[in-house]
Homo-oligomer: A and B are copies of this chain.
Amino acid sequence: MRENLSTQTLGRLPLYLRLLKEKQNDAVEYVSSSALANELGLVEIQVRKDLAAVSSGGRPKVGYRVSELVRDVEYALGYDNTYDAVLVGAGNLGRALLSYGGFQAYGLNIVAAFDADDAVVGETVNGKQILPVHMLQDLCKRLQIHIGIITTPAECAQSVCDKLVESGVIAVWNFAPAHLAVPAGILVKSENMAASLAQLSRHLRDAMK
Task: Tell whether, in the assembled complex, residue B81 and residue A14 are in contact, meaning their CB atoms are under 8 Å apart.
Answer: no
A191 engages B196 (CB within 8 Å) = yes
A–B Cβ pairs within 8 angstroms, 10 of them: A17-B194, A83-B201, A92-B96, A92-B100, A92-B101, A106-B201, A146-B207, A170-B203, A185-B207, A189-B199
When all copies of this chain in the complex are counted, the total is 2
Chain B nearest CB from A123 CB (Å) reads 15
CB distance from A136 to the nearest CB of B (A): 19
- 7 tightest A-B CB contacts, nearest first: A96-B96, A78-B201, A14-B194, A11-B195, A187-B203, A92-B99, A77-B198
Range class of the A interface residue count: 35 or more
Check A200 against B187 for contact (C-beta < 8 Å): yes
A58-117 residues with Cβ-Cβ distance < 8 A to B are: 76-79, 81, 83, 92-93, 95-97, 99-101, 103, 106-108
Contact B93 A197 (CB under 8 A): no
Contact (Cβ within 8 A) B189 A10: no
How many Å from the CB of A25 to the closest CB on chain B?
A: 11
Whether the Cβ atoms of B171 and A106 lie closer than 8 Å is no
Q: Are B204 and A200 in contact (CB under 8 A)?
A: no
Chain B residue contacts of A187, Cβ below 8 A: 199-200, 203
* CB within 8 Å for A10 and B199 given contacts A18-B178, A181-B41: yes
- Interface residues as binary, A2-37 with B (CB distance below 8 Å gives 1, 0 otherwise): 000001001111110111000000000000000000
CB distance from A133 to the nearest CB of B (A): 21
Known: A13-B195, A14-B192. 4 other contacts (CB 8 A): A147-B200, A171-B200, A187-B203, A189-B196
